Amino acid sequence: GAGVSQSPSNKVTEKGKDVELRCDPISGHTALYWYRQRLGQGLEFLIYFQGNSAPDKSGLPSDRFSAERTGESVSTLTIQRTQQEDSAVYLCASSLALAGGKNNEQFFGPGTRLTVL
């Protein structure tokens, strides 16, 4: 079956522009996660969704970052007024249930590489 997909695979933008990153999770997965990975570093947790709800937004780096999920499916991560420090690979993952217990294996997408010039 289809895995997690993300689009675009690469995005180059100018400082100050807004960008939207899309994630299509595996069908039926109720939980969805966004991470950021800067070059040579580990994964930085950003936000998770249970259904269409994001109970904890404290991981978002600033108020320029926002995320939404609709139809318990597609999710969009939006970065407004991009800055050079936003350059990173943005990874999306989904799981059958919320992580921590059983049925919680996260399946990752290939990521979107964002470059802010």
Q: In the bound complex, what is the minimum distance in angstroms from residue 9's beta carbon to another protein?
A: 12
CA dihedral 71, 114, 39, 35 (to 10 degrees): -10
Of 16-24, 69-77, 79-87, 108-116: span binding another protein (CB under 8 A): 108-116
Q: Does 5 bind another protein (CB under 8 A)?
A: no
Site string for another protein, 43-82 (x = CB under 8 A): xxx--x-x----xx--x-----------------------
Q: Sketch the per residue contact string, 82 through 101, with another protein: x for CB under 8 A, - otherwise.
A: ---------x-x----xxxx
State which residue, 41 or 70, has the beta carbon closest to another protein: 41
Taken in order 9, 30, 51, 54, the sign of the CA dihedral is negative
Q: List phi, psi (to 5°) of 85.
A: -70, -5
Residue 6: name the closest of 89, 76, 102, 110 by CA.
Answer: 110
3-class SS shares of the chain: helix, strand, coil, % to 5? 5, 45, 50
Give 77 or 91: the residue with its C-beta nearer to another protein: 91
CA separation, residue 20 to residues 23, 41, 102, 103 (Å): 10, 23, 32, 29
Summarize as ranges the residues that interact with another protein (CB under 8 A).
31, 33, 35, 41-45, 48, 50, 55-56, 59, 91, 93, 98-101, 104-111
